[in-house]
Amino acid sequence: MGLKAIVKLFLGVIVLCTSCSDSVNIVERPVLPDIFPDYVGVTVPVSIAPLNFRIEGDFTKISVTFSGSKGDSFVVEGDNAIAIPAKKWNKLLLANSGDSILISVLGHQAGEWIRFAPFSVYISDDPIDGSLVYRRIAPGYEVYSHMGIFQRELSNFDEKSLVENTLFTGSCMNCHTFNNNDGSEIMFHVRGKVGGTIIKTDSGIVKLNTKTEFTMGKFQYSYWHPSKKYIAYSVNKTSQTFHTADANRVEVFDAASDVVVYDLENNNIITSDLLFSDGSFETWPMFSADGRSLYFASASAKLVPQELKEIKYSLCRIAFYPEDGTFGSDVDTLINATMTNKSIAFPRMSPDGKYIMVTQFDYGNFPIWHKEADLYLLNLSSGDYFPLAEVNSGDVESYHGWSSNGRWFVFSSRRVNGLYTMPHIAYFGKDGKLGKPFLLPQKDPNYYDNSFYSFNIPEFVRGEVNIDVRELENVINSPGQDVRFTDGKQMVEDKN
């Protein structure tokens, strides 16, 4: 930080202290302030909304000075929390893009002001996609409560509802995905009596009935092909159970699963006997950035729930030929569960095709209640596979997704209170170095304390997601279109 900015900060503190009759006594406390959310030392995009925060402890007032080597400093005051003026915040971040700003906190307590050690927030000039889309859902295990899919702008606090299950009472929505972060194409499932897979493209909205006589269940976990011609899905027999004496309260597991690819143009399911077998559980499909490989998680089939803790998924890859929708004849194993003695889920490739991020945990295929679940990164060039120590916490890290330029990723974490998943964003530099992650800012710093909702499947999105609710309601309540599985009979015969 430059001398000019330091002088501004010092003068700002003097003005504050001489203007308050009860601020004569200043106690220096050379420790960082305990603030929530924890924005100390984080890296943020230049377009991020104000990082409003509160100070923890018995403070009756708070005064915070924001400054940088460029741009005017300013002071924000509040009781034990601050609401940063958007115009001043945006101006300061823009002036210091590629550098940092300094934040100095004074708290008033027991008749005196306490000055904490200042901290920096680093301002990256790498852009971020404009919004985040997530499902917000109240806790529950058996009954579908109120839930919705929402789009939140990252440059401000504006949030809009895309679809809520009030359109189809007693049903669930899940597994929304976008094609390459493009807000114009979205897919999600509706579960319940009017259930089906909803796909919105430039051509309109369709509802698919995805259970066939040859598949064990409906489409589940999904991933778009970059050509927009295909979507990879898992089909699963999923069950849920509860632990009576375990830190992981809930267990979701598959009794069987396969991976298929849906051909949007021909309304047909295609697959390979290497993805559709009784001897293995295949799930969590993902296309490569160039669309010529299909990655998936695979584990040897075992009896569940008796052998659940012995089920550990590896990361595998098979060639895919989008020209004719065929697959290679060999499967490569990139992360071998027999070597790690762990399980992986949620493979997500960086847009440049250089890295794959996964969630690694002790066993099974669904980590969102596994406290040991952490994020890991696979470098496809070197083969290095390692935990993201700068990002992981002592609680669950689960679903994650990349920004369209690969410089940011978002992930779900229960680190705040161990109960609710909340979206955290982290910087991923061109050199692979990580910034300290930050919790999605809210207008009210107490928002997460007062919320009874989890944020599921956070996805970065470019552009506005526009869904005609009237059209969507009509489509959801329609009979829907049956998908075809022309090779299904032969595939089932081969499995048997």
The pLDDT mean for the chain works out to 90
pTM above 0.85, yes or no: yes
CA dihedral 200, 205, 207, 208 (to 10 degrees): -60
For range 202-226, the mean pLDDT:
94
Quote the CA–CA distance of 54 and 42 in Å, as a whole number.
Answer: 16
**pLDDT tier, 20 (very low <50, low <70, confident <90, very high otherwise):** very low
Q: Greatest CA span in the chain, whole angstroms?
A: 85
Neighbours of 479 (CB within 10 A): 9
Quote the CA–CA distance of 235 and 151 in Å, as a whole number.
Answer: 27
For range 41-56, the mean pLDDT:
98
Q: Per-residue pLDDT tens for 330-366? A: 999 999 999 999 999 999 999 999 999 999 999 999 9
Q: Per-residue pLDDT tens for 394-404? A: 999 999 999 99
Q: Residue 221: is its pLDDT beyond 60?
A: yes
More confident residue, 22 or 379: 379
Residue 172, both tokens? 């669930």
Give residue for tokens 């207008």: 443
At 160, is the secondary structure helix, strand, or coil? strand
For range 421-443, the mean pLDDT:
96
Q: Are 411 and 391 in contact (CB under 8 A)?
A: yes
Cis check: omega of the bond before 30, within 30 degrees of 0? no
Closest CA to 174 of 185, 190, 163, 194: 190
Domains, the chain, ordered by start? 3-124 (2.60.40.10), 131-482 (2.120.10.30)
More confident residue, 254 or 242: 254
CA dihedral 408, 411, 416, 420 (to 10 degrees): 150
Q: Residue 244: is its pLDDT beyond 80?
A: no
Residue 3: its pLDDT value, please? 42
> How far from 141 is each of 144, 240, 249, CA to CA, in Å?
8, 9, 11
Closest CA to 327 of 378, 287, 289: 287
Residue 14, both tokens? 């003097």
Residue 249: its pLDDT value, please? 63
Q: Are 327 and 263 in contact (CB under 8 A)?
A: no
Q: Per-residue pLDDT tens for 248-291? A: 566 877 889 999 999 999 999 999 999 999 999 999 999 999 99
**First and final C-alpha spacing in the chain:** 69
For range 235-250, the mean pLDDT:
67
